[in-house]
Amino acid sequence: MSQARQALVVHPAAPDMEEAERTALSECIDAALDCTQACTTGADSCLEEPGVTHLRHVIRAQQNCAVICSATAQVLSRFGSDFGPTPASVLRALDDVAALCEDVCRVYAGAYAHCRVTADSCARVRAAAAAMLALD
């Protein structure tokens, strides 16, 4: 059981949450945190490649995706606050940024393993965001 899942189980608002929602929420938080790490490391890996200039747009996409994934994980972790339900706009923004990052990284996935890892992580977070949006 992931840390996010454990936190959702012991949260005082947990009894009020449907199991499907709790599962989707914990999976989205985990995917967002994993994608934050993959994008941060991916951008750093790109910086180590020779002739890094051609990877500038990849690095920027990874940096932006890491920031949005981290912020989304934080917002999703506050589900019991007065903030109310997670706005669909947060999940759509996550999907938009991760889609761009995935597309850009997929171009280089054959040449650079770190771009493949990042693209795969973006695909996972997109699937998790879609599962959350499907609950509404």
Residues 6, 118, 129, CA angle at the centre, nearest 5°?
A: 50
pTM: 0.90
Q: What is the DSSP letter of 83?
A: T
CA–CA distances in Å: residue 46 to residues 13, 32, 54, 79, 124: 42, 21, 10, 35, 21
Separation CA 90–CA 49 (nearest Å): 33
Q: How far is CA 25 from the centre of its chain?
A: 12
Question: Could you tell me the residue ranges of all domains in the chain?
Answer: 3-134
The domain 3-134 is placed in CATH, from the list 3.30.1370.160, 3.40.50.2020, 1.20.1270.360, 1.10.3720.10, at: 1.20.1270.360
Per-residue pLDDT of the chain (136 residues; tens, 9 = 90+): 777 777 777 777 666 778 888 889 889 999 999 999 999 999 999 999 998 999 999 999 999 999 999 999 999 887 665 556 667 899 999 999 999 999 999 999 999 999 999 999 999 999 999 999 998 7
